[in-house]
């Protein structure tokens, strides 16, 4: 059985080449061919010695993901479904903008965190992705887009680990993938332009700060522990005060001078003025301890199993005004790719539900917010 070279960062590839009797500079050449040029055929790698190419043909391969489907939105967003075997499907989304190209990458098939507003969480968890399966999403998308758009230069300038899964619950594989993204012989991305999103796995946040600090986005979604524990079950293990202390520690190593907090706007659940005022008080308390933040308010993308609805835009803007009036930098995320189910919180693919989450959630749905009233109004879900 041959080795998929997408599983290696540069140090790992150098060790592999040493096993073949080759020096490190050969690994650097090979790394560039794979990641910068998108080559998968060793015969294409013209500056490698013929003997090495013959060795590689026997011992290794470069295998990207199997494409199940590709969907293109009217706004230019592209969503791929990739088959990673055993019935598991993952999703990857490219979001083009005038000044950047952002790729949203999955780290797991499914997700174990089970946030109430996330369709991926409702499907349950299947398995962690390998380093090769994580980086293959970038490898495939970058070189597909160059051909698709007729460009020779790099297309993807930003990567966000905001696809399926909780990245920090797949830490070892994530770390190697991040190193490939940042390596100048690989994709050469800036630490400021690679973002890991987490629901708050506190110990791994500290490890990431020490091992490979990149931009950090934290899924907050509530201003108090009672509400957040019902929306983000991980909060029961790592409550808000502990999470914000970890954010403050992370900021000292982060490439940006702020931590981004993501806040999904849920109609009648977490979008009231009182919730905004609680957030202001919370951030002032931790700001005094050194935490600097930015809030990203995310319009909820409804799906039937959630029992939740999107906040009206006037309500979102009123909420944002309270934060901004208190001096908190606040943006409202523009929904992209919702016509192809590629918007935030919609990534579910066709991964099998191996945890019976639908059955369990159905039995809990009447009171799934633990006494918090869910206001259901007669309006469309779009």
What is the number of alpha carbons within 13 Å of residue 221 lying toward its C-beta? 28
Token code pair at residue 217: 């986005």
Contact 175, 211 (CB under 8 A): yes
- Mapped onto helix, strand or coil, the DSSP state of residue 295 is strand
Which residue among 111, 115, 247, 344 is the active-site one? Answer: 344
| 91 noted as active-site residue | yes
| 111 noted as active-site residue | no
For 16-107, list the strands marked E by DSSP. 60-61, 66-72, 78-83, 89-97, 100-104
Rounded to whole angstroms, the Cα distance separating 220 from 232 reads: 8
Q: Which of 151, 161, 152 is nearest to 103 (CA)?
A: 161
Residue 332's DSSP bridge partners are: 297
Which residue among 91, 142, 166, 262 is the active-site one? Answer: 91
> How many CB atoms are located within 10 Å of the residue 201 CB?
21
Angle at 199 between CA 202 and CA 252, to 5 degrees: 50
Rounded to whole angstroms, the Cα distance separating 328 from 313 reads: 19
- DSSP for 105-152 reads ---EEE-SS--TT-HHHHT-EEEEPPHHHHHHHHHHHHHHHHHHHT-S
Please give the positions annotated as active site: 91, 344
């Amino acid at each position: 059985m041959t080795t998929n070279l997408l599983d290696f960062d540069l140090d790992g590839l150098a060790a592999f080449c040493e096993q073949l009797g080759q020096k490190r500079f050969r690994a650097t050449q090979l790394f560039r061919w794979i990641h910068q040029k998108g080559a998968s055929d060793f015969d294409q790698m013209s500056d490698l010695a013929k003997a090495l190419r013959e060795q590689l043909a026997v011992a290794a391969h470069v295998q990207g993901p199997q494409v199940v489907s590709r969907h293109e939105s009217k706004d230019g967003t592209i969503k791929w479904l990739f088959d990673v075997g055993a019935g598991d499907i993952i999703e990857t989304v490219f979001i083009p903008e005038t000044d950047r190209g952002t790729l949203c990458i999955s780290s797991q098939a499914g997700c174990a965190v089970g946030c109430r507003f996330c369709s991926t969480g409702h499907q349950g968890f299947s398995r962690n992705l390998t380093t090769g399966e994580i980086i293959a999403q970038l490898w495939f998308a970058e070189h597909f887009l160059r051909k698709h758009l007729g460009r020779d230069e790099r297309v993807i300038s930003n990567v966000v680990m905001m696809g399926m899964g909780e990245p920090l619950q797949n830490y070892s594989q994530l770390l190697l993938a991040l190193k490939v993204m940042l390596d100048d012989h690989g994709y050469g991305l800036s630490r400021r332009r690679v973002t890991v999103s987490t629901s708050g796995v506190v110990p791994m946040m500290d490890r990431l700060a020490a091992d490979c600090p990149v931009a950090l986005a934290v899924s907050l979604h509530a201003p108090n522990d009672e509400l957040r524990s019902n929306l983000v079950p991980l909060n029961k293990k790592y409550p808000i005060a502990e999470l914000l202390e970890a954010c403050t520690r992370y900021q000292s190593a982060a490439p940006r001078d702020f931590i981004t907090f993501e806040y999904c706007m849920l109609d009648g659940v977490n979008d009231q003025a009182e919730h905004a005022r609680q957030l202001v008080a919370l951030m002032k308390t931790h700001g005094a301890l050194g935490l600097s933040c930015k809030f990203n308010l995310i319009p909820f993308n409804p799906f039937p199993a959630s029992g939740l609805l999107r906040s009206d835009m006037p309500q979102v803007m009123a909420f944002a005004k309270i934060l901004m009036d208190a001096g908190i930098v606040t943006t409202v995320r523009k929904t992209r790719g919702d016509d192809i189910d590629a918007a935030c919180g919609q990534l579910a693919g066709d991964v099998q539900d191996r945890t019976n989450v639908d059955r369990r959630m159905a039995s809990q749905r009447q009171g799934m917010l633990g006494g918090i009233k869910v206001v259901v109004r007669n309006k469309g879900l779009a």
